[in-house]
Amino acid sequence: MEQEFSSVLLENAVSQLSRLPGVGRKTALRLALHLLRQDEQTGVELGQSIIDLRRGISYCTCCHNISEQPLCPICSDVTRDTSVICVVESVKDVMSFERTGQYRGLYHVLGGLISPMDGVGPDALQIRSLVERVKGGCISEVILALSATMEGETTNFYIFRQLGSIPVKITQLARGVSVGNEIEYTDEVTLGRSLVNRTLFADSFAKR
């Protein structure tokens, strides 16, 4: 690569920073110069935290969530309901569901969705380990909590078929009008699904 700056250290930092997603060379230079304006401690702490992150974190051997231990805090939490598995696409989705405070079961992180267009087949995801987990343990319910997209539905269906022979309840997230959304701006497919799957009004008080 052509060296643009007079300093090798700056050149190196800019190259490394520009490998981050959404960070081009201009932004990388801005970040590097920003770090140079801060006191030394700030820059060193940032660098060290990234090294520690990459060296210290691996994945839970059971649910594939990120974890500092072989078993993640959720899998090793004895107060949680170990008979329910919520299947999610990514680590971020685990965080989203945890933030709702409405779920006390376990997770299974697939690490992506089946997407033939992007060359992602079922074997690239943690589907086999999910099937083993459901076969082996005393699992009563598998919640498919994937995105309501083409890829999500495809993956849902694939998992549903893989689990077909196992006596377990397989559910998926409710589809319907997002809370806070106006009917006027909700697409007709969602409206259709929300109509077909309508719930008893009285139930909404009980569940809230």
Pairing mode, strands 58-59 and 66-67: antiparallel
Secondary structure of residue 143 in the 3-state scheme: strand
Cβ closest to a copy of itself, residue 37 vs residue 198: 37
Count residues contacting a copy of itself (CB under 8 A)?
A: 54
User: According to the binding rule CB under 8 A, does residue 57 interact with a copy of itself?
Assistant: yes
Which tokens hold the place of 69? Answer: 């231990």
Q: Alpha-carbon distance 89 to 101, whole Å? A: 19
* Minimum gap (Å) between residue 9 Cβ and a copy of itself: 5
HEC letters along 88-120: ECCHHHHHHHHHHCCCCCEEEECCCCCEHHHCE
User: According to the binding rule CB under 8 A, does residue 32 interact with a copy of itself?
Assistant: yes
Cβ closest to a copy of itself, residue 75 vs residue 163: 75
Which tokens hold the place of 61? Answer: 């051997």
Neighbouring residues of 112: CB distance < 8 A, sequence distance ≥ 6: 89, 90, 120, 124, 125
User: According to the binding rule CB under 8 A, does residue 120 interact with a copy of itself?
Assistant: no
Q: Map tokens 């589907």 to a residue.
A: 127
Which residue in 3, 25, 47, 181 binds a copy of itself (CB under 8 A)?
Answer: 47
User: According to the binding rule CB under 8 A, does residue 8 interact with a copy of itself?
Assistant: yes
* Minimum gap (Å) between residue 169 Cβ and a copy of itself: 27
Neighbouring residues of 44: CB distance < 8 A, sequence distance ≥ 6: none
Which stretch in 36-44, 134-142, 156-164, 190-198 sits in contact with a copy of itself by CB under 8 A? Answer: 36-44
User: According to the binding rule CB under 8 A, does residue 42 interact with a copy of itself?
Assistant: yes
Which residue in 3, 70, 81, 95 binds a copy of itself (CB under 8 A)?
Answer: 95
User: According to the binding rule CB under 8 A, does residue 104 interact with a copy of itself?
Assistant: no
Which stretch in 70-78, 81-89, 145-153, 172-180 sits in contact with a copy of itself by CB under 8 A? Answer: 70-78
Tell me whether residue 145 is exposed, middle or buried, using C-beta atoms within 10 angstroms of its C-beta: 0 to 12, 13 to 18, 19 or more: buried
Cβ closest to a copy of itself, residue 32 vs residue 144: 32
